[in-house]
Amino acid sequence: MYWRIGNAYTKRSGELNRADLHALVKASPPPGLLAFAGDLPVGWCQVTPRSDLPWLDHSWRLKRIDDLPVWSISCFYIRIGYRKRGVTSALIKAALQVARQASAPVLEAYPLDADLTPSTSSTGYLTTFNRLGFVKVGRHV
């Protein structure tokens, strides 16, 4: 929800953020993908048109680099115990299919470079996207 509503996300209760996300899921085309290991949900990836996420443009690091109607992979969450086991890669591969089916001209993402920061990332890591054929078109440090 952060990229939809910005700083309001951190000022509201988690309950309200969840309720809004639930309403979004009920009312909209699917805003992302879920990964399952058997019946167990183990990963989440938000993939949408970038235009659905107006707060991306409020971040100087994530401003648009052109006017193409791109799609965005903007958030991951992988269940504890299932990290570093290929879940993120599976979600990215599926997101590429979704973007192609939607005739998106570009699918962009905002990963961290783990060589430059020790931070954990909800937007994935550069090495994962590189392995899957993504090309770096901008870099902000």
Partner 1 sequence: MGASLKQDSKLDLIVRPLTPDQWPALEAIIC
Instruction: Return the bridge partners of 52, or none.
Output: none
The length of the chain, given as a count of residues: 141
Interaction between residue 93 and partner 1 (CB under 8 A):
yes
Minimum distance from residue 84 beta carbon to partner 1 (Å): 9
Q: Which two tokens stand for residue 66?
A: 């052109």
Q: Contact between 131 and partner 1 (CB under 8 A)?
A: no
Window 24-43: contact mask with partner 1 (x via CB under 8 A)? -xx--xxxxxxxxxx--xxx
> Alpha helices of 6-138 — where are they, by DSSP H?
8-11, 14-27, 87-101, 126-131
Does 2 sit near partner 1 (CB under 8 A)? no
46-to-21, 29, 64, 116, 141 alpha-carbon distances in Å:
11, 12, 18, 24, 24
Q: Which of 6, 89, 114, 123 is the binder for partner 1 (CB under 8 A)?
A: 89
Binding positions for partner 1, rule: CB under 8 A: 14, 18, 21-22, 25-26, 29-38, 41-44, 77, 79, 82, 85-87, 89-91, 93-94, 97-98, 101-102
